[in-house]
Amino acid sequence: MNILVIGSGGREHAIAKAIVRSPKVKTVYCAKGNPRMAQDGIVCVDISETDKQALVQFAKEHEISWTFIGPELPLFHGVSDAFEQEGLLVFSPSQRAAKIEYSKDFAKELMKKYNVPTAQSQTFTDFEKAKTYCLEKGVPIVIKADGLAAGKGVVVAMTEQEALDALSLMLIDGSYTNDNDVARVVIEEYLEGEEFSVFSFVKGRKAWFAGISQDHKRAYDNDKGANTGGMGAYSPVPQFDQTVIDDVMMHVVQPIIDGLVLEGASYTGVLYAGLMMTKNGIKVIEFNARFGDPETQVVLQRLKSDFVEIITDILEDKEPTIEWRQSGITLGVVVAANGYPSAYVKDLPLGTLTVPQHTSMELFAAGVTEKNGEYVSSGGRIFLVSATAQTVKEAQQEVYTYLSENPIPQTFYRQDIGSKALR
């Protein structure tokens, strides 16, 4: 089989690597991928992740059995629909179903209608009304732009001023990607608790657990600094056991995918539930229409079964066999360019981007390009290094020893990935 992965970051590196491992696969293509992927036998294709026509044509010409779309932007642009329209198999949601990620308003309405536990909220388009509501509710309060905002659409306002600044930015100056050209915000109750995420493979009304992880969204240790795409993750999450997973599958995932079918937006692909364990139980913070980055890099290493067989079976409406490693933990730390998530330095020399062989360590490249035959950085999050060990402490030790022995000037990483599992 030949498989096409769309995207170019660490998540797509991990997905493509899981596909390469399958004996069923001849060639894995990644559009556009990144130059480090070649070391793992992944073939990069120079097509933009939103160029529907070129992607479809490539899939036809290269006898692609199915395509897997990694990031949210192509989903928003209907790349999945373009494949479907040509009769090509794709394990990713339609533009309509992906709305669960790119419209916070749509997601909240769906959760309310189908009784999925989430923070109380109200949606606004009018600045004055939104302001009155915020002042009435008081801080802390959470303000979310209704649209794709590349991780910058959520403001957890601890002061009234922060809340009003966010409203003004999102409703008055707003330039977020949504499908209705009207700036809209969801104003939401502030939830306290510990965050984690659960992934599912979904087809219509059927869902299968696809991993649990905890991301670290803030740039610096102890959850300080700006919100980022994610600075590190581990899987599984010992403080959230099988009972929690069962609860999520039954009370969050099943009702939401049933709801999507009933709304005429049947879902195929990976569904990401971003969750908060509050003292009143599990609440949904957000849904994403895809795997998480950097969660995928650790989650897929927990999979014992053949990833390609799983996706093929689901697409063919057969019951997949999905087995997970039962013991140990996989933990990954992101190395980012100084300045990230604001303006960051680029073109940093990265060396060979390899980890010692015959260890549990893996490296997934994200913001990496090639200049004069050398790897150099091109993105804010540059790569992730992971290790698998019996305990969180041992995995941390392995990753952090490697990172301190292989320093890269003008980069930084969090020193406390996994620490919540040790409390």
Q: Partners of 337 in the beta sheet? A: 411
Task: Give the whole-angstrom CA distance, residue 29 versus residue 96.
Answer: 26
3-class DSSP assignment, residue 177: strand
* Residue 213 makes contact with ligand GLY by CB under 6 A: no
Applying CB under 6 A, which of residues 268, 288, 330, 411 lies at the interface with ligand GLY?
Answer: 288
Instruction: State which of positions 91-110 bind ligand GLY (CB under 6 A).
Output: none
Contact of residue 195 among ligand AMP, ligand GLY, none (CB under 5-8 Å per partner type): ligand AMP
Contact of residue 170 among ligand GLY, ligand AMP, none (CB under 5-8 Å per partner type): none
Stretch that binds ligand GLY, among 107-115, 290-298, 299-307, 365-373 (CB under 6 A): 290-298
Distant-in-sequence contacts of 408-412, Cβ < 8 A, 24+ apart: 408/335, 408/348, 408/349, 408/350, 408/351, 408/382, 409/348, 410/337, 410/338, 410/345, 410/348, 411/335, 411/336, 411/337, 411/338, 411/348, 411/377, 411/382, 412/335, 412/336, 412/338
Residue 389 in contact with residue 395, Cβ under 8 Å?
yes
* Residue 217 makes contact with ligand AMP by CB under 6 A: yes
Contact of residue 227 among ligand AMP, ligand GLY, none (CB under 5-8 Å per partner type): ligand AMP
Task: Give the whole-angstrom CA distance, residue 339 versus residue 357.
Answer: 31
* Residue 230 makes contact with ligand GLY by CB under 6 A: yes
Applying CB under 6 A, which of residues 188, 295, 306, 362 lies at the interface with ligand AMP?
Answer: 188
By rule CB under 6 A, what count of residues binds ligand GLY?
A: 7
Applying CB under 6 A, which of residues 49, 146, 215, 313 lies at the interface with ligand GLY?
Answer: 215
Q: How far is the CB of 144 from ligand AMP (least distance, A)?
A: 7
For 172, which DSSP code?
Answer: I
For residue 140, say if its preceding peptide bond is cis, omega within 30 degrees of 0.
yes
Applying CB under 6 A, which of residues 28, 75, 98, 142 lies at the interface with ligand AMP?
Answer: 142
Q: How far is the CB of 111 from ligand AMP (least distance, A)?
A: 12
Instruction: State which of positions 42-81 bind ligand AMP (CB under 6 A).
Output: none
Q: How far is the CB of 248 from ligand GLY (least distance, A)?
A: 17
SS3 content of the chain, % helix, strand, coil (to 5): 30, 30, 40
For tokens 């769906």, what's the residue?
A: 110
Contact of residue 288 among ligand AMP, ligand GLY, none (CB under 5-8 Å per partner type): ligand GLY
Stretch that binds ligand AMP, among 4-12, 49-57, 153-161, 365-373 (CB under 6 A): 153-161
Residue type, 151: G
For tokens 């490697």, what's the residue?
A: 402
Q: How far is the CB of 251 from ligand AMP (least distance, A)?
A: 18
Stretch that binds ligand AMP, among 173-181, 188-196, 298-306, 372-380 (CB under 6 A): 188-196
**What token pair was written down for 59?**
């899939």
Task: Give the whole-angstrom CA distance, residue 180 versus residue 188.
Answer: 21
Query: How many angstroms from the chain centroid is the CA of residue 223?
Result: 18
Cβ neighbours, 10 Å, residue 422:
12
Stretch that binds ligand AMP, among 150-158, 232-240, 326-334, 348-356 (CB under 6 A): 150-158
Neighbour-count burial for 294-305, b at 16+ CB within 10 Å, e otherwise: bbbbbbbbbbee
3-class DSSP assignment, residue 169: helix
* Residue 139 makes contact with ligand AMP by CB under 6 A: no
List the x/- string, 266-295, binding to ligand AMP by CB under 6 A: -------------------xx---------
Decide the pairing of beta strands 2-7 and 27-32: parallel
Stretch that binds ligand AMP, among 70-78, 151-159, 245-253, 394-402 (CB under 6 A): 151-159
Applying CB under 6 A, which of residues 130, 191, 257, 299 lies at the interface with ligand AMP?
Answer: 191
Contacts for 321 with CB less than 8 Å, ≥ 6 apart:
305, 309, 310, 313
* Residue 332 makes contact with ligand GLY by CB under 6 A: no
Applying CB under 6 A, which of residues 105, 188, 293, 398 lies at the interface with ligand GLY?
Answer: 293
Residues that bind ligand GLY (CB under 6 A): 215, 229-230, 288, 292-293, 295
Residues that bind ligand AMP (CB under 6 A): 119, 142, 151, 153-154, 156, 188-191, 195, 217, 227, 285-286
